Structure 1
Amino acid sequence: MTDLGIEQLLQSDLLFKSIITLILITVLVAVRKLALRKLHKKGQKKGKDYRHAINIVKQLSHGIMFAALVLVWSSEVQNLAISVAAFMVAIVLATREFLQCLLGFLYYIFTRPFRVADWIQIDNSTTGEVYAIDWIKVTLLEVDPESLTYTGKTVYVPNNQLVSKQLRNMNFMRRYNMHNFTLTFEPLQSVLLQLPEIKRFARELCAPFRDVALRYKDLIERHLETEFIETDPIVNIETSRFGYIELTVCIFCPTDRAQGLQQQITEHALHHILPGAASGQELSKWDFRRQDYKNEMAY
């Protein structure tokens, strides 16, 4: 069959379906009008309310008309549905990442796992302060996870990671946090003998802000409904797998002073543990610097 013959066949088929459609619409409209007119006359004659029956006739006629048209044009409707479905699939595949970002934003709206100005950590890799959030991304001011200080960098995180990645709210660590660090010494050094002095010095450094730390500890534990914070400094001694002595210090302290406190405790431990490091003149200078630091903390 030539192309001309196929085209003529298609045209004749469309013409036939168009004629059938007009006939169906005409017949159904005429039948509906006759039925409605009969119901109106019957209602007026008997004095009854036939509005419910009239509504049923209208809806039924619309349904029959729609079903008849679908049957007549079924092949064309099927082709159209396939084309629309293919187009929608292509659109979804092309915009999948953006759709996931929109879903991530909806997840944020309904669950509110954090707010602007909170500290969050995403997938144990990105830590920062939430600066802004929109339909597509979360803007973070990056924070170093070790020192908990701002790095000066801005990080843009797609919203889809809010759903697919692990999310931690670290807002309670903005002011106070559990700061841990480890000092390593040779096994021949007298670490054990100086352990009480190091504990005493750590408690002395933390004394100026102990009352504030207690209040903040109560606030955090009430919010999380569990007790896990120790306000007094913890100093433990243990050995590594290579035979070295490790001094582990844990203090609950202001976040912005954690590095300074670590440096003070480290210097004090080295002066008392390392042989020949603590001459009288050096200890005098050390005590003078320590007193300045205590005054700063009290202020």
Structure 2
Amino acid sequence: MTWTFLDDPELRRNLLATGTLIFALILSRFAVLRTIRNMKVSSDAMRRRWTASVRNLVLIGLGLGVMVIWASELQAFAVSVVAIAAAIVLATKELIMCVSGSILRATSGSFAIGDRVEMGGVRGDVIDSTLLSTTLLEVGPGHQRTGRAVVVPNSVMLSGGVTNETFMDRYVVHVMTLPIKAEDDWRSAEETLLAVANDACADFVEPARAFMDRLSDKHSLPKFSVEPRVLVAMPKAGELELVLRVPTPVRERGRTEQRILRTFLERRRGDAAVVPPREDADTSLF
């Protein structure tokens, strides 16, 4: 059998140095332990501690010596390992981000199956969640389901965040926006809209207030009003917006919004000041 790898003089020097180091450490350990056994100490526990310390020092010396002797070879090996690791990370970057997003969701409790969320620009009800992706039953305009299932990679939770519209579980404060012309009677429109909202939400106000109070106490938050409220906004010159805030059950926001809008338009029929709500109207929560 031919040991061709021993033809390398540097390799022979390293092997010889390693053998010499091991022999020297074994000899030193033997001599020190013999000295400890012959010493008079106060207790056997101290002798055992010294013996263990010598053993650990020998191992540390062996590790450091091998690293010094084989430094060039270890450096080349480390570079190869780093290059391989970098290639693996680049090839599996998206998978790693998806798994990280899943871990973030599990540790933060940001949403669960059945919640209505918006993530990655998609809004819908969560019907499945795996290690790599989340499946949403899409919800379109008017809070109506489209019937389409959208699979969203969990990696979007690391960059875009997640909006959980059902975080409050039972009741939410819903916002809808109605644009009107600045020169028309916005005070009359405001009074009509507020009256319609009070009628539509009469059954929700007290339960919603009690629920919000419990939620505030649980999370040490200041209590806030849930009664219907109308704010006036001016997005640009010559235009006004009536921003209505109303309490509603989580799963009935679409019905409540349509009930208010239809009743409001019926009461102001023939008034050209009111135009249909914009499609991009804000329906986020306060």
Give the one of 138, 142, 148 matched to 2:134. Answer: 138
Q: Verify: 1:66 aligned to 2:58, yes or no.
A: no
Q: Cα gap change, 1:35/1:101 in structure 2, threshold over 3 Å: closer, same or farther?
A: same
Q: Which residue does 1:35 correspond to in 2?
A: 32
Computed over aligned residues only, the root mean square deviation of the Cα atoms, in angstroms, reads 3.8
Q: Verify: 1:127 aligned to 2:123, yes or no.
A: yes
Equivalents in 2 of 1:93, 1:112: separation in Å? 29
Residue identity matched to 2:162: L
Q: Aligned pairs, how many?
A: 259
Report Cα offsets for 1:226-270 as digits up to 9, x if no partner.
555553475979998568x97776654432423541463155235
Gaps in structure 1 of 5+ consecutive residues: 1-6, 275-299
Q: Which residue does 1:151 correspond to in 2?
A: 146
Q: In the alignment, is the contact (CA less than 8 A) between 2:198 and 2:228 conserved in 1? A: yes
Equivalents in 2 of 1:66, 1:215: separation in Å? 70
Q: Output aligned runs, 1:178-257, within 5 Å.
A: 178=174, 180-182=176-178, 203-204=198-199, 206=200, 210-220=202-212, 222-223=214-215, 225-226=221-222, 230-232=226-228, 234=230, 251-253=246-248, 254-257=252-255
Residue identity matched to 1:55: A
Residue identity matched to 2:58: S
- Percent identical pairs in the alignment equals 21
Equivalents in 2 of 1:239, 1:85: separation in Å? 55
Work out which of the two has the higher radius of gyration on C-alpha atoms and give 1 or 2.
1
Report Cα offsets for 1:49-88 as digits up to 9, x if no partner.
2111111111111111222222221111111111111111
Gaps in structure 2 of 5+ consecutive residues: 273-286
Equivalents in 2 of 1:195, 1:70: separation in Å? 80
Give the one of 249, 252, 256 matched to 1:258. Answer: 256
Equivalents in 2 of 1:70, 1:158: separation in Å? 44
Instruction: Pick 1 or 2: higher relative contact order, CA cutoff 8 A, min separation 6.
Output: 2
Q: Cα gap change, 1:39/1:191 in structure 2, threshold over 3 Å: closer, same or farther?
A: closer
Task: Give TM-score scaled by structure 2 length.
Answer: 0.71
Report Cα offsets for 1:106-149 as digits up to 9, x if no partner.
222332222332222236x32222223332222222222x4123
Q: Which residue does 1:94 correspond to in 2?
A: 91
Q: In the alignment, is the contact (CA less than 8 A) between 1:140 and 1:154 conserved in 2? A: yes
1:38 offset after TM fit, Å? 2.8
1:93 offset after TM fit, Å? 1.7
More helix per residue: 1 or 2? 1
Task: Give TM-score scaled by structure 1 length.
Answer: 0.68
